[in-house]
Structures are given as C-alpha cells and as structure tokens.
Amino acid sequence: MTKKVFLLLFLGWGVLMGAPAPTPESDLLGTQIQTTLDSKLHSPYRTQIAELYRLNGFKALWVGPENAANYAALLHALENPLYNYNHKDFNLNEIKRLSFLLDNGELPPANVPAARARLDVLMSDALMRLLHFIRVGDVDWPLVQQKLKRLKETQDVQAAWDIRPKKLPETKELYQVLNQKELAPYLRKQLPLEPRYRKLLALLAKYRTMPNFPKLSYGRTLRINSTDSRIPQIKRMLKFFGDYPKHFAEDNQFDRPFAQAIRSFRSRFKLPPGNTVDNKVIQALNTTKKEYLRKILVNLEKLKLYPHRWEPDYVEVNVPEFKMRFYRNGQPIFSSDVVVGRIDRPTPIFDSKMTYMVLNPTWTIPDNLVRRDLIPMLKKEPDYLQKHNIHVYTSYKPNAPEVELDFEKLFSYEHDTRPIPYRFVQFPSDQNALGRVKFMFPNKYSVYLHDTDNKKLFGYRYRVFSSGCMRVAKPFDFMDLLLHYARGNYSEGKIQEILASNKPTTIRLKKAIPVHIVYFTVRREGKKDYFFYDIYLYDKMIWESMEGHKKASFRVPEKRLNPLRKERKRRRHFF
C-alpha cells in the first residue's frame, strides 16, 4: 500500500469507523445521501449513481467499517497510474479535504451527516469517472467516425474502422461488485489487453522522464571511424532509448559499439538497414519528447477499444507495422511481413474469424476496382485480360456464361454507380494476383490475407500497395500452421497434389480462428521500443478528437507519405 493511500485511510478512519449499525443516525445519513443526489450532485453520471444508491437502499457505499475494503481499493486506484496514468483529479482533492475535516472534528456536529453523505456520493462519482477513463478514455470516438467518413467526401478515401467504444458497466453489475467487496480485482479486469497496456504504461513513464534534447543539425553522413561534434549527444540519446549501453563513453568517436546502436535504432524506426548516421537517422533522432508522449497516449486510447484479453489462439495484423502474427495459447508462434492497403485505399480495421483457406484461388475483381483500375488499364492495354488469364462472365450467377467483352459498353460504366454488367475472374496460376493460397475470414469489406505473385513489394520500407487486402510474405508457412485446425488430414504430398492440379480447393477449419486487424503505432518488444509511422494519419485524427485537443474537422496535410519510388517498369497490381 502506498504512503499516500495509507495517509488517506488514516485520515478517513474516523469516517469509516463512525458509521454504526442501522440507527436513527444512519437513517439520517441515508436521507442526506438522497438530498445530495437530488440537489447537489452535478455529474454526467448522476442517473447511474442514483440507481446505485437505490439498489443499496440509499445506504452508504463507502463510509463505515463495512465498506473499508472498497474505500481502500478506490482510493488506491485513484492515485495509481495503472488506472489513472494522466493523474486526473476525479474528486480526490475534495475527498481528501472532507476526510480530514471529518476525522479531525473540524465540522459542527449538525453538519457531519451532510458532509459524510457528500463524501460518499463524491466517491461514487469518482468511481464512475475512473471507470469511464479506463474503459472509454478521453477520445470522442463518434467525432473520429465523422472524420473518417469525411475522408470519402473530401479525399475519395474509403477509410473503414469498426469502432465500438465500450460503455460504462451496468449499474447492477457495479452494485454486486461493491456488495461483494471485490472492487480491486474488478478494476483490474477492466484494463484493456492488459500485458500490452502495462508495457505502454511503462513506456509512458519512461518517456515522461526523457530529457528535452537539443535538435541535431543535418550534415554529412557519419560512418565507422568518423569523428563529429554531434556524436556525443547522439550517444546520450541512444543511452536513453536503450540502444547504447549506459556505461559506454560519450565521446565523439564513431566506434563499433556506436555502429551497433545505430543499427538497432534504425530497426526500431523501420529505417533502411545499416550503421551509418545519415539525415534520415538525424530526422528520426529529432523526434521530440512531446511527439513520443503523444504517440504513446494515443495508442493507450486505442487499446481501450479492446477487451481485457483476446482469445488463446488468434491472428493479428498490425497495419502500420506491416506485420502479422499468429498466437497459440496467447504466445506468438509465427510472424510474417505483410503488404497493406494504399494510403488512398486503406486496409479496414476490424475483427472477424477465419473459417477456411483456398488453394489455387480465383480472383473476382470487385466493381469498384473494375471502375478505378481495370477500365483505365484496358484503355491502355486492350489485351490485358488475355495476358493475365482474366475471364469475363455475364453476371455473378454460378452458371453465367463466359462472353467476349464489349469494351465500349464496359467503358460507359467508368464514372457512374450502376452495377457492372460483367464479372471478371482471374483463373489460378502462378501469375494470379492472390498467389497460390488465400485465407478467408468473411467480412463486409471483402478483404482477406493472401499470397502474392509480386514478392518484390516486401522489400519496401512502407508496404502500402494493395487495395485493402493483406499480402503475406510467408503464406505457406502460415498455411502449414493452420492445417493443424483443418477438417481432414492434409499431408505435404496431398498439398502438393492439390497445387499441381491448378484447381481451386477449399480447406475448411474445424475451429474458427479469430482475426484482429489493428492499428498500433507503438510496440514494446523485449527491451526495445518500436515506433511506427502513422501511415493513414489515424493517430493524428484521434489526437485531434481527444479531450483538450479537439478539432471539429480533420485536414489532411499537403505533404504526407509517398511510398512509391521512381521505378523502372514494374507490373501494375490493383488488388
């Protein structure tokens, strides 16, 4: 127990012990509680608090010896950064003041029942405010949703995120928790994705102590055996970040330990591998304390959209990290790089369940991609369909006949919303856009994980090239793990036989695997802190929808990520 909480308990012990068994005095306290609720409580949670007291017969919930456990648990939580990491007041100063006055007899006897009632109601209000902060947080999520929707109108960007903010617990649930004196374990169960949440809190505490380093100047590229006046400060910075040992010298020498530290720093910021200090490294090093803290706080808010823990077995795709992981019994057993949606066609953020996979998949081109990509491509390359093994059908009906494409008819649909009168299907092959396997988790966005025929894209720093689907760098390793859940037995020989057949083959899973597509730009792994670029500007949008930073609208910066290099001829992929 912290010294502060012990002091509060000491100050409030007279308050706790001063409530005897039901007597006219306790009846008076109940009357005062009702009066406080009716005329003196100004809180957004007034209805829930009144219902809580009604369920308790308008008896005290916090003062009195019978409530000592809940009293101690709440006071501890209000001052514990595990729950209140932004050090919000939540009535704590007034709670301390009333506790002191009551404990030291500094109030006239006639005023004591009203003060005790006010203290009790203030603590109930503090609980509701704390629960709101833990479960919902400081983000105006409806405002975020409005801004996402506006991107379609202003930028033609279909940004999709299934945002489902939590609500406060049911009042009956809270009453039962308080009645059973289980507030402490209950509060802990409200923490979202607890292990990650604790890691982010540790990062928050660390970066709050970060010195305000002076900005480093840009200049020549530094290499092993270089000397430079900037190196001592860079070494101090890397010591703080954990890339450079704390006991090493802070001289101006570019030695091998320093080169190793630079390599570590580059990997944490997804900079190109290497051990030189160029201007890209300087730019990353110049990230300010304020920027780090903002990023961590936004990610803590995003965590609050999720439950206390996920399922034992699940797939997670972290879009800004360009990484997918497969967890079994809560532990990661597989990871792979992924390619995600372009900045103008972002991968949707949502949850689903994987139920089957398909070997030798076909690809039916969605109407929106026919309009945006296929029609312009056919205007440039009329034989594009033949080159890419794409067949044309009259409709989406299973037995629809294959037909010759009427180009003029198709082109008339480029700029309107009528359903395309054709179905375009790319047949299985090594050149199929989906590669040789796709992993299906039915969803309203029609996106999924899949192989790809264009492995070169995994060499890019920012892998934002798809129209929403996620391409997996190691699809067959992932498939081998999923075969553990397949209905039926699939030996390596059987899989090779299916692939050689070139026929689409569905493998259903006997157990649906949860899939979580997420957007986290901070990650703590081992002893290293990883910070990822806000590729879709969602962090910025969330920050500008948080308490104290709200902006009614969102403006896309004129300069933002452009992952495309000036390239030699590269195959166009529009999926």
pLDDT given for residue 23 in this prediction: 55
Taking a C-beta distance cutoff of 8 angstroms, is the pair 76, 2 a contact?
A: yes
pLDDT digits (tens, 9 = 90+) for 103-119: 888 999 999 999 999 99
Taking a C-beta distance cutoff of 8 angstroms, is the pair 243, 264 a contact?
A: yes
Would you give per-residue pLDDT tens digits along the chain (575 residues)?
444 444 444 444 445 444 344 455 667 888 999 999 988 889 999 999 999 999 999 999 999 889 999 999 999 999 999 999 999 999 999 999 999 999 888 999 999 999 999 999 999 999 999 999 999 999 999 999 999 999 988 888 999 999 999 999 999 999 999 999 999 999 999 999 999 999 999 999 999 999 999 999 999 999 999 999 999 999 999 999 999 999 999 999 999 999 999 999 999 998 999 999 999 999 999 999 999 999 999 999 999 999 999 999 999 999 999 999 999 999 999 999 999 999 999 999 999 999 999 999 999 999 989 999 999 999 999 999 999 999 999 988 888 999 999 999 999 999 988 999 999 999 999 889 999 999 999 999 999 999 999 999 999 989 999 999 999 999 999 999 999 999 999 999 999 999 999 999 999 999 999 999 999 999 998 889 999 999 999 999 999 999 999 999 998 887 776 554 433 334 444 44
Question: SS3 for 283?
Answer: helix
451 to 239, 352, 448, 474: CA distances (angstroms)? 40, 19, 10, 8
| 415 given a catalytic annotation | no
How far is residue 384's CA from residue 396's CA, in Å, rounded to a whole number?
21
Class of domain 310-362+432-575: mainly beta
Phi-psi category of residue 389: left, alpha or beta, with phi > 0 → left and psi -120 to 50 → alpha: left
pLDDT given for residue 155 in this prediction: 87
> Nearest to residue 88, comparing CAs of 150, 138, 18?
138
- Mean pLDDT over each residue of the chain, to the nearest integer: 92
pLDDT given for residue 445 in this prediction: 94
> H/E element holding 521?
none
Q: What is the DSSP string of 100-133?
A: HHHHTT-S-GGGHHHHHHHHHHHHHHHHHHHHHH
461 to 13, 448, 561: CA distances (angstroms)? 60, 22, 11
Phi-psi category of residue 68: left, alpha or beta, with phi > 0 → left and psi -120 to 50 → alpha: alpha
Taking a C-beta distance cutoff of 8 angstroms, is the pair 294, 175 a contact?
A: no
pTM of the model as a whole: 0.91
Selecting among 308, 469, 516, 549, the annotated active-site residue is: 469
Residue 435 is classified by DSSP as T
| 469 given a catalytic annotation | yes
For the chain, which residues make up each domain, given as ranges?
Answer: 3-135+167-191, 231-287, 310-362+432-575, 364-427
pLDDT given for residue 568 in this prediction: 35
Specify the amino acid at residue 55. Answer: L
Side-chain half-sphere CA neighbours of 266 within 13 A? 18
Question: SS3 for 77?
Answer: helix
How far is residue 575's CA from residue 564's CA, in Å, rounded to a whole number?
16
The neighbour count for residue 120, using CB atoms within 10 Å, is: 26
Taking a C-beta distance cutoff of 8 angstroms, is the pair 331, 215 a contact?
A: no
Selecting among 450, 484, 516, 573, the annotated active-site residue is: 450
Taking a C-beta distance cutoff of 8 angstroms, is the pair 549, 541 a contact?
A: no
Q: For the CA atoms of 136, 140, 145, 147, what is the dihedral angle to 10 degrees?
A: -150
pLDDT digits (tens, 9 = 90+) for 42-80: 999 999 999 999 999 999 999 988 999 999 999 999 999
Q: For the CA atoms of 296, 299, 301, 307, what is the dihedral angle to 10 degrees?
A: -130
How far is residue 570's CA from residue 540's CA, in Å, rounded to a whole number?
33
